[in-house]
Amino acid sequence: MNNKIKKLWLVIPLIVVILALAGCQGTATQDQSAQQTMQAAVNQTLTAQPTNTVVPTATTTSTPAPTPTTAPVNIQVGPTNFPDNVDPLTGLTVSDPTIMNRRPVMIKVANYPRSGRPHAGLSQADIVFDYYVGEGGNRFMALYYRQDSTKVGPIRSGRLIDRYLVSEYQGILGLEYAYAPVYAKILDMLGYARVISGGPNTCPAICSDGPYTVISNFADTAEMTKLYDTRAGATDVNTKPNLDGMAFNTTPPANGVPGTEFTMQFSRANLGNWRYDTTTKKYLHWTEDEDAAGNVTLVPLTDRNTGLQLAFSNVIVVYANYETLNGDDTLHEVTISGATGRAILFRDGQMYDGIWKNTNVTMPIQFFTKDNQPLELQPGNTWISITGLNSLLTEDQPGIWRVVFGKP
């Protein structure tokens, strides 16, 4: 039996006696005094602690507060009606939208000789175009719109395809001259003001980095814009071009198949390899290296400005017709304007088979699903390899794809 209850039973007779005495006195004051005396006796008994009672110590359990989670923000913009602070070529917001009140700056970048690697500034480009130039080689065209790079290159000469790409994105072109008939056609389409060929009078827009060689010239994209402004006059500066056409969505499209790795093979020893990284949700770029014995290996391709490996949100293969115009396979007309063809998109570790279209020489290339809906890209930068119509697509292993270049 509980100790307090036992003591209460001992107190009850005492209470009875007290009440009896109070009743004998018969006054209200005496009744009140007796009740107070009784209550005091009960309270004292119930609150008394026995000397041999062990009082257990309460154990406190600490429950960590739940970590607040923020739901990922879905971005879906394009192909038209882009907000003023969103770059229509990446789907990303721009801290200073006024930077887009200009033409995109597009720079020709050499991939060969290999001694010109690592390239400078490719990681800051919105889009990099990658295409065949003959004899197993390729070159890049890097486009800068939402941000600038102080060093892009090494710069090389132009090709016929450049006039169409620069026209479609309403850009200005930085290059190291070109074969005279090619250069004349570039100037004819774009005009003198939009074509800046490196030379002694173009620095700081295009400068030689040391002794003049085929891999010594580099561009500063902000200075390119300034030099263009002095050429173009007031009617064509600080004007935002209409670059509608691309669509972006952080949620991947449906109906993709695994595409965790992709290799663009322009020749036996010319390989561009992309591997999807789940941490950054980008494709990391690898390129070939070749030893004296002709053994080809893949090494990370970095940006010499940052020392970091190139990483792109989207990798796209565009199939286009290559018409060879000379016997040594160094001059081509590529049908990339006013045309349509097959496109393959790699994003989020998935591969999508789609369509590219260009119906206007002054508007960007657009991408569609096979049922003619916008093929939405992951917001971010895009690498576009332009391959020939007879190029062979194979799946070497599950999710690992390869395109081997083939003309026309």
Q: Is residue 228 part of a domain?
A: yes
For the purposes of burial, counting CB atoms within 10 Å of the CB of 37, is it exposed (0-12), middle (13-18) or buried (19 or more)? Answer: middle
Amino acid at 39: Q
Contact 379, 347 (CB under 8 A): no
pLDDT of residue 71: 59
From CA 158, how far away is CA 61, in angstroms rounded? 72
Q: Which residues pair with 208 in a beta bridge?
A: 217
Structure tokens at 122: 């490719």
From CA 379, how far away is CA 250, in angstroms rounded? 6
Region 178-202: what's the mean pLDDT?
A: 96
pLDDT of residue 386: 98
Q: Is residue 122 part of a domain?
A: yes
Give the helix, strand, coil percentages of the chain, each rounded to 5.
Answer: 20, 35, 45
Q: Is residue 27 part of a domain?
A: yes
Contact 141, 156 (CB under 8 A): no
Helices 160-168 and 180-190 meet at what angle, rounded to 10? 20
Distance of CA 267 to the CA centre of its chain: 29
Q: Which residue has the higher pLDDT, 365 or 51?
A: 365
What is the domain-level CATH number for residue 184? 3.50.90.10
pTM, full prediction: 0.83
281 with 393, same domain?
yes
Per-residue pLDDT at 139 exceeds 60: yes
26 with 164, same domain?
no
Nearest Cα to Cα of residue 164 among 407, 389, 362: 362
Per-residue pLDDT at 61 exceeds 80: no
266 with 352, same domain?
yes
Q: Which residues pair with 296 in a beta bridge?
A: 290
Q: What is the pLDDT of residues 290-336, one digit of tens each?
A: 999 999 999 999 999 999 999 999 999 999 999 999 999 999 999 99
Q: Is residue 52 part of a domain?
A: no
Per-residue pLDDT at 370 exceeds 90: yes
143 with 21, same domain?
no
Q: Which residues pair with 393 in a beta bridge?
A: 403
pLDDT of residue 210: 81
The beta-strand segments (E) located in 162-255 are 172-175, 195-197, 206-208, 217-219, 248-249
Which residues are within 8 A (CB) of 26 and not within 5 positions of it... i.e. 6 or more apart? Answer: none
85 with 29, same domain?
no
42 with 107, same domain?
no
Distance of CA 128 to the CA centre of its chain: 14
- Domain of 279 in residue numbering reads as 76-404
Structure tokens at 270: 């010319």
132 with 8, same domain?
no
Q: Is residue 365 part of a domain?
A: yes
Amino acid at 126: D
- For the chain, the farthest-separated pair of C-alpha atoms sits apart, in whole angstroms, at 138
Contact 166, 106 (CB under 8 A): yes
Q: Is residue 54 part of a domain?
A: no
Query: Considering the chain, what percentage of its residues have pLDDT values greater than 70?
Result: 82
156 with 22, same domain?
no
The total number of structural domains in the chain stands at: 2
pLDDT of residue 28: 37
pLDDT of residue 21: 31
For the purposes of burial, counting CB atoms within 10 Å of the CB of 48, is it exposed (0-12), middle (13-18) or buried (19 or more)? Answer: exposed
40 with 117, same domain?
no
pLDDT of residue 211: 81
24 with 147, same domain?
no
From CA 201, how far away is CA 283, in angstroms rounded? 39
Per-residue pLDDT at 30 exceeds 70: no
Structure tokens at 177: 């001259």
Contact 87, 124 (CB under 8 A): no
Secondary structure (DSSP) of 304-341:
TTT-PBPEESEEEEEEEPEEE-STTS--EEE--SSEEE
pLDDT of residue 233: 77
Per-residue pLDDT at 179 exceeds 60: yes
Q: Is residue 69 part of a domain?
A: no
Contact 345, 316 (CB under 8 A): yes
For the purposes of burial, counting CB atoms within 10 Å of the CB of 358, is it exposed (0-12), middle (13-18) or buried (19 or more)? Answer: buried
